[in-house]
Amino acid sequence: MHLFRTIPWQYDDHDYEIRVLYDDRVINVVAFINNHPANGYRCQVQIPKAVDAKSLLERHPVPELVEACKNSIMQKRWEALSQVMQGARA
């Protein structure tokens, strides 16, 4: 995947980096902390072959994906899912 943009973001005394990555068919937005994925969530859009993914990078849906990525951190979705997964193992 190609890196389109990094967006520095601070939340809850942590420094995150939101990375917008793409290839011919997919746009991925992932939150990183200390150069590692911050959680297991990825915000992704799969692009039809007839559409150039690069042409979408400055427009919809990227800003919405960035906000969804931030929301996964702010709402502690990974922590909640981790608790559910722990219960499923028992």
Residue 90 has pLDDT above 70, yes or no: no
Range of lowest pLDDT (51-55, 63-67, 73-77)? 51-55
pLDDT for position 50: 94
How far apart, in Å, are the Cα atoms of 43 and each of 30, 65, 66, 87?
Answer: 7, 6, 8, 25
pLDDT digits (tens, 9 = 90+) for 1-33: 999 999 999 999 999 999 999 999 999 999 999
CB proximity list for 90: less than 8 A, separation 6 or greater: none
Residue ranges per structural domain of the chain? 2-89
